[in-house]
C-alpha cells in the first residue's frame, strides 16, 4: 500500500477542511456577536451603576468637600474599569470554552477519520517519519521524537486560532 503524497492528501481533504473552516467561522461569528451583545449589556449595566455611584459621590462631595468626592469618583472609575475588564474576560473565556467544545464534537462526525489522518501526516511531516503519533484525549494527535513534541490536538488548534484572532475579538469590546 502506498502512502499518498501530502499534496494529494490535502487535495482530498480540502472540501472537508473548507467545510469545517466555514462552519467554524460562522460559529465564531455567531459566538462573537453574542459575546458582543453580552459585553454591551454588561457594560451598560456597569455604566449605569457607575453613574449612580458618581451621582452619590457628587452629593456626598458637596456635603463633605471636594477631596472626599474625588476619592469616591476614583473608586467608582476603578470599580467600573474592573467590572468592564471582568465582563470582557468572562466573554472571551466563554468563547474559548465554546470553541473547545465545538472542536471536540468533531470527533463524532463522518469527516473526523480523514481529519485525524491528515493531522497524523502533518505531524510526520513536521517531525519525520519516525515520529510516535498518538491520539489526544480531546481529539487530534500528539507526536513525539526525542527532544521534540508537536501538539495537533483539536483543542490546541482551536486555541491557536482564537489567539490569532485576539485583536479582532478585542475590538468587539472597545469603543
pLDDT < 50 stretches in the chain: none
Q: Within a domain: residue 130?
A: yes
Q: Within a domain: residue 1?
A: no
Q: Which residues, in sequence order, are bridge partners of residue 140?
A: 153
- Burial of residue 116 (CB within 10 Å: 0-12, 13-18, 19+) is buried
pLDDT value of position 124: 95
pLDDT value of position 58: 76
What is the number of structural domains in the chain?
A: 1
The residue range of the domain holding 80 is: 6-171
Percent of the chain residues topping a pLDDT of 90: 29
Mind listing the pLDDT tens digit for each residue in 7-48? 565 567 667 656 666 666 676 676 667 767 776 776 777 788
pLDDT value of position 162: 84
pLDDT value of position 146: 96
Q: Within a domain: residue 92?
A: yes
CA distance linking residue 124 with residue 145, whole number of Å: 10
DSSP 4-52: PPHHHHHHHHHHHHHHHHHHHHHHHHHHHHHHHHHHHHHHHHHHHHHHH
Amino acid at each position: 500500500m502506498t502512502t499518498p503524497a501530502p499534496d494529494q492528501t490535502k487535495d482530498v481533504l480540502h472540501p472537508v477542511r473548507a467545510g469545517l473552516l466555514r462552519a467554524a467561522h460562522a460559529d465564531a461569528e455567531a459566538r462573537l456577536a453574542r459575546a458582543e451583545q453580552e459585553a454591551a449589556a454588561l457594560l451598560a449595566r456597569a455604566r449605569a451603576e457607575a453613574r449612580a455611584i458618581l451621582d452619590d459621590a457628587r452629593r456626598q462631595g458637596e456635603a463633605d468637600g471636594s477631596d472626599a468626592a474625588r476619592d469616591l469618583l476614583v473608586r467608582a472609575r476603578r470599580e467600573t474599569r474592573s467590572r468592564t475588564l471582568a465582563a470582557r474576560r468572562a466573554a472571551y473565556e466563554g468563547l474559548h470554552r465554546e470553541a473547545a467544545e465545538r472542536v471536540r464534537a468533531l470527533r463524532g462526525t463522518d469527516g473526523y477519520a480523514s481529519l485525524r489522518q491528515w493531522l497524523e501526516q502533518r505531524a510526520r511531516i513536521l517531525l519525520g517519519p519516525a515520529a510516535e503519533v498518538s491520539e489526544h484525549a480531546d481529539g487530534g494527535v500528539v507526536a513525539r521524537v526525542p527532544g521534540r513534541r508537536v501538539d495537533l490536538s483539536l483543542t490546541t488548534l482551536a486555541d491557536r486560532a482564537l489567539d490569532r484572532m485576539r485583536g479582532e475579538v478585542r475590538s468587539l469590546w472597545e469603543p
